[in-house]
Structure 1
């Protein structure tokens, strides 16, 4: 009886195990179908419900470091320390794993180390989805799981981390979570912020749908809460969706909702965003933005903005209403797409006062720019010999101060490559004959000059001008006496016009000078001849070979030219003005390409260019060769003598040059004009040399100097930091302030990106990143003895990183002529792990304003921010 009480012969047989391969130290389990009891059904009864299999479908592979214990009584397998289980597309790693064959479940949890701390947190992976909980229970039959204290990362270009106390896995694509946390903070142990989700539904890589949720900052709850929330987790590069507006308040137009709309992810090549603003006083704005790109073909962006602005209230004397708009289009074609055809566009067109009056941006770069330029061009090349090139361009130039607009709709240019009729195409060209060449250039233009208020009206075409010019240059070049480079050219120009004028004699009875515009084709031809001779002279001054300056080399390039153009008086007529004087005119006045010359032009031209270089001993003693530096990049002098006139034959002497100083950190450009003739008491030039009038050889009439200087903390080291501020249309530096487009949400959070280094951040460092820029300009005028400084201004900007997270900066200047401070901007920003704070302040001028924002750096949660700003007072 005792023996029978302990025998196991009456127990249910254990399902056989697949033997493990010895060299892999793993056990593969297979449950054959023969071990599963078969149920015999009545042949007359049919069950339409498909029964689930009663065994594990597939092989289980497992391993552990310390031990793998199999309990036949409980039908379980225990794995301890670095345990791993692989089943179908499931992967499970943990400190301890228990496989229960009776329930077809697996349990995984942590283990304690020698200090009593939990280690080897479970790692559960299904496909590309990874969950890292404290413990997990998973059923092989139902594919359901209970996950406790889970952590999951959804990688969408940036990490979105999900934490939950309890997660129920319903199936492969649906999870239900309770008491969860959602954050983009990189600190998984102690995030600086998170969104607490009480209950929610989680679909990996697609979305999270949650009930009541609110934000916690440093584990402190905030009143930022919503009754329900939707978080998209689409792994696609882009997805359509609603763009939430940003609430705010303006000092002139009341409360506002800005930058709200919808984003359309049309396809992989183009997208579209429709945005709008609304203000409680009735003002509104709409924007359409689209980007497109096709690899190896083209890429571009289109942006259109329209704003209806209302100031004050109806019935008040300062009430006014205006509309402004702006169109920006950039298109670039890949050179490899079609080498013989190219379309390019750079458009910035709209109302002249758009950047001064626009509500939803403070763009200092465009605000301080008085000229807006736009162009769209198409170029077509016809290969072969001779090669022909066609270019069709439409351009617009706007002056935002005078509101004048100049349009060319369009300009056609055609050119043929240079042809050498007396030389072989493949051989070298020698002598005056073989170097004779000619080419053809044609230009046709339709130009319209109007003002901003007349755009898109019939009146803008009243003064349109159409003209064509054909140019055929014939030239050659050769060596004279081996050292003199000589060139000669003959240019033939023919101009076509569709409108000419006729001026009649003054009508005494009507008190009118008749002037008629004649429509119809007319033409005139001109020609001229030019020749020049030049050479190059070198002078070297050697010094002590052991000294710092070892040698100085002076390069001089003198050039003498001659130009002749005859008088084309055959195109001129005469009329009698109101004073009875006989005057000459040409019917081609007012044309696009000028008028034929009335007088002979017979000029001698003189020019000299200079370059001064030095050889200095290199500071690096390991280098044997001296270092070459330029003392003067160039120093140019030019003047001319007119042989065809009887007085004031010499033109003013023009001097210009530039150089680099302080290890090429400082750039200096300078120029001056010197007049050899004296002035009378009225300030007019007279045919008397200034030296003969008791003065110097030359009388300075104009001079200018421009100096720019830029240094930073890496100036004296090998490191460099590039600063670019062109996103908002400003300068590549911040001398005129840092521009910011508030409607572009992509801008926020992109500044001062982390370097990506894994090195720990130093709390204190002797290296403080900084940069400094300076630009100085002065202009002197003395044409009529005014002897005054017409412009004298200094612009400076600087930025200092007080800590790795704090940066402050200033842009300002001083106008010594007007005796006042120029456009000034103060700014600082604070970058935290997940947050960024930015402040910009213009303390005075008509653009006095400030802007403050704090928000998440994550583009996924960019709408979680707070903004406050004060607009410039338009009444000032």
Structure 2
């Protein structure tokens, strides 16, 4: 049964109307509230952007809008404006209900403001920021900074005008009247400072007053500079210089200039000035290169004067870039009497692959005129140099290098402005390819070598030389070691093989027949076998066996010619072989001794002596008895023993059998001293007094004569890391014939002098040291050393050699005023008894000399330099040069005098230090060849 109730239709109608009213108020009110979000956002949206992206950007712009003072960042968007009352913002909001899903569509159609920019601007100021709202301007005070894209500007005061988007920056003066906060502008690689800067953000153009900028080594100033693009400028009343002073020592001035950054500057009429004094010379236009890196161009000459060659221009040339990896320099020296020199220097380099270069030189010298005392017939000389280096990363396990230096006999003697090269009589070359196999013990070397003596004019060429080695292998060693190895597992076998070719010729008598007659070849094979036995207490025992086989292409026989009273040499060509074996057993140990000093106040705490004796036993059978013969060598009937392979590439084998006992005694001496840099009582450090000294000799128990070998003495030391000492000598224990110098079958102590242990037959002593003061600026000296270290490690051989040659030719341009004084000294002594060419006896050749070079500061800006070689035997200066330099800040004054040597010269020059204007020099040079008659 249903219950019924009475319904009031008026109440139902009232409720429905109330719900409709609430629904209308809710939906319409929400739509109106959302419109306010868009109203508060900045109007910087392009018309083709989607509404979602636009809303995102506007929200980000609103969140990024912050103001800071007192070291706080001020981020303001220049075009953030409030719309006027008549601005309309059409908004379409609709809610459509389909299948209980609501889809919302927002669409914006905005008009851009005329002063809109496309990126935010960041501001910062240390003191304060002032907003001029009616005029729409912002002022930043004290260390103000503005950043816009890649543009940054720092100044004391910066003003931004939002309607014109014009930025103005200028400096102020402090209480002492000093200008502070000079405006500094930077965009990408362009940077400059100015008294006043005006810059438009929208057009990115600007105008500056009193502008300083730097392009490479060039400093540029302009009274007014107009910037029309990031790389193009126009300047009025500009100044160019390489002097970094505000008032430079010298400059080039022009009224109108166009700059293209890192490329070139072109001017109208230009004139130089020195110390603000105009020079009454000028040019109708000027071109100043500012492009970094390689560029083609002319190389200016240097005027010289010579009484034997006449007036000359040296260094006239041209530099040419050839592709990405090549360049070439050609220079010429031209003299008025008809001499000329040509130098061609191509260079190449490919990073991480290879680098190298050539130096091709040709000299046509005409010294003096016929009838003059210093006249020399015309001579033509040439030189070929090539260097190449392969980067180790290019081909792991393979290397290829070349260092070729070939020249005619008189080339070095006539080479100008290099006294060291004038005294060089030996030239060598080498081209080598090396290959090693990863994980295998094999190594291959193929090389071509050359050596020549410019005095004898003899060339020796080895082409090719092949070397193949197999490192020591252990055939009985297990692949996987378990436990202690057996004694036979330490048996090692190696192989060394070499193959040589050689031909010789004189440059004055070169012919194909001579090459064929002097051609030689040879090979040597060596198989060493060694065994490392367990240590016997303090002794280390090592047996060894060696087998050598040598192949020859010629044998030489000397025959006495009674008619000419000389030895004639007979050469037989063919294939000849010689073999040699040896067996050895070596014993070695080490003994240590320390002497401690008990005095606690002594700086020397202890002395330590280490002795390493080595005793060797060897046996070599006589397998070369058929190689030796006896022949008369002079008219008195005296004879000499010859080997038929003497004069070949490998030489002959030793004569007779030997049961040899060899003995070597090596020592070193150290001292323990108090470390003055460490204040603790126990702080000590080691000082090596003698790195090594000792002797070696031997006794042949199976020899028929002269069983005792010569004594070889040696000494190596670097005393206190200041004095480097190296010495060696050979002492024979036998008496010598006073007339001929041949040995006698008598010991020295068997004669009248019982205390004599031998006679010196050869020896050498070399002592060198260096003294220099502490640098004025330690930091600057460390930076210099680091730069030099990086140059040595990363520079190619060609770059290093060119730098050394540049220093050698112009030492005054590389003066270091940071070191007040320095002195390098070295002494060398060499003597040897050598067999005369006619086999009549021995003669002693003695040579000793002193080399010195040093410099010192006369004043803060004057430096004196000098170097030379003094021959003690002749008691004459063989070479001497001195120079004096004056540091003129951006200029260098140098006077160089070489009064002694083959090449004597005098020069005075003044030139800018900058490499950009180094060739802009004032020079006066005179030189003279002092050639022997």
Alignment correspondent of 2:258: 201
Once the 2 structures are TM-superposed, how far is the Cα of residue 431 of structure 1 from its aligned partner? 6.5
- Say which of 703, 706, 727 aligns to 2:766: 706
Change (3 A) 1:190 1:575: closer
Alignment correspondent of 1:30: 79
Alignment correspondent of 1:135: 196
Distance 2:899 2:639 in 1: 62
Distance 1:740 1:513 in 2: 48
Change (3 A) 1:558 1:488: closer
Distance 2:893 2:751 in 1: 68
Alignment correspondent of 1:338: 395
- Say which of 673, 676, 686 aligns to 2:744: 686
Alignment correspondent of 1:403: 457
TM-score (norm 2): 0.75
Partners of 2:592 and 2:608 within 8 A in 1: no
Change (3 A) 1:630 1:460: same
- Say which of 823, 838, 860 aligns to 2:894: 838
Change (3 A) 1:23 1:621: closer
Distance 2:872 2:808 in 1: 37
Alignment correspondent of 2:267: 210
Distance 2:810 2:434 in 1: 34
Change (3 A) 1:530 1:429: farther
1:609 aligns with 2:670: no
Change (3 A) 1:57 1:264: farther
Deviations 1:441-476 (A, max 9, x none): 211111122234456966344311111222222232
- Say which of 879, 883, 907 aligns to 1:851: 907
Change (3 A) 1:667 1:175: closer
Alignment correspondent of 1:424: 478
Distance 1:618 1:140 in 2: 65
Distance 1:486 1:685 in 2: 36
Determine helix, strand or coil for the equivalent of 1:824: strand
Distance 2:845 2:562 in 1: 48
| Structure 1: runs of 5 or more not aligned | 1-15, 36-52, 729-737, 755-767
Once the 2 structures are TM-superposed, how far is the Cα of residue 219 of structure 1 from its aligned partner? 1.5
Deviations 1:421-445 (A, max 9, x none): 2332554886753332222221111
Deviations 1:496-516 (A, max 9, x none): 3445579999999xx998956
- Say which of 204, 220, 223 aligns to 2:277: 220
Determine helix, strand or coil for the equivalent of 2:518: coil
Distance 1:166 1:850 in 2: 47
Once the 2 structures are TM-superposed, how far is the Cα of residue 207 of structure 1 from its aligned partner? 0.6
Change (3 A) 1:592 1:89: closer
Alignment correspondent of 2:339: 283
Once the 2 structures are TM-superposed, how far is the Cα of residue 691 of structure 1 from its aligned partner? 2.3
Once the 2 structures are TM-superposed, how far is the Cα of residue 263 of structure 1 from its aligned partner? 2.7
Determine helix, strand or coil for the equivalent of 2:916: coil
Change (3 A) 1:32 1:452: farther
Determine helix, strand or coil for the equivalent of 1:864: coil
- Say which of 232, 235, 239 aligns to 1:174: 232
Which residues of 2 match residues 551-566 of structure 1 at below 5 A? 551-566=607-622
1:863 aligns with 2:919: yes
CA RMSD of aligned residues (A): 4.7
Determine helix, strand or coil for the equivalent of 1:433: helix
Once the 2 structures are TM-superposed, how far is the Cα of residue 98 of structure 1 from its aligned partner? 6.5
Change (3 A) 1:490 1:149: same
Distance 1:700 1:505 in 2: 31
Partners of 1:363 and 1:739 within 8 A in 2: no
Which residues of 2 match residues 204-283 of structure 1 at below 5 A? 204-222=261-279, 225-235=282-292, 237-266=293-322, 269-283=325-339
- Say which of 161, 181, 189 aligns to 2:219: 161
Once the 2 structures are TM-superposed, how far is the Cα of residue 858 of structure 1 from its aligned partner? 1.4
TM-score (norm 1): 0.79
Distance 1:309 1:726 in 2: 40
Once the 2 structures are TM-superposed, how far is the Cα of residue 559 of structure 1 from its aligned partner? 1.9
Determine helix, strand or coil for the equivalent of 2:514: helix
Give the structure with the higher percent helix: 2
Once the 2 structures are TM-superposed, how far is the Cα of residue 787 of structure 1 from its aligned partner? 12
1:412 aligns with 2:466: yes
Partners of 1:381 and 1:388 within 8 A in 2: yes
Determine helix, strand or coil for the equivalent of 1:23: coil
Deviations 1:34-79 (A, max 9, x none): 99xxxxxxxxxxxxxxxxx99546268586866657596xx78474
Distance 1:582 1:822 in 2: 41
Which residues of 2 match residues 352-367 of structure 1 at below 5 A? 352-359=409-416, 361-364=417-420, 366-367=421-422
Partners of 1:177 and 1:200 within 8 A in 2: yes
Once the 2 structures are TM-superposed, how far is the Cα of residue 138 of structure 1 from its aligned partner? 5.5
1:390 aligns with 2:444: yes
Aligned residues, how many? 809
1:771 aligns with 2:822: yes
- Say which of 477, 490, 496 aligns to 2:551: 496
Determine helix, strand or coil for the equivalent of 1:850: strand
Deviations 1:80-107 (A, max 9, x none): 7456666776655555667778988665
Alignment correspondent of 2:711: 653
Distance 1:500 1:708 in 2: 45
Deviations 1:225-274 (A, max 9, x none): 43322111124x33333333334434433333332333334455443333
Alignment correspondent of 1:373: 428
Distance 1:821 1:807 in 2: 23
Alignment correspondent of 1:464: 519
Which is greater in Rg? 2
Partners of 1:603 and 1:643 within 8 A in 2: yes
Distance 1:615 1:414 in 2: 46
Change (3 A) 1:70 1:700: same
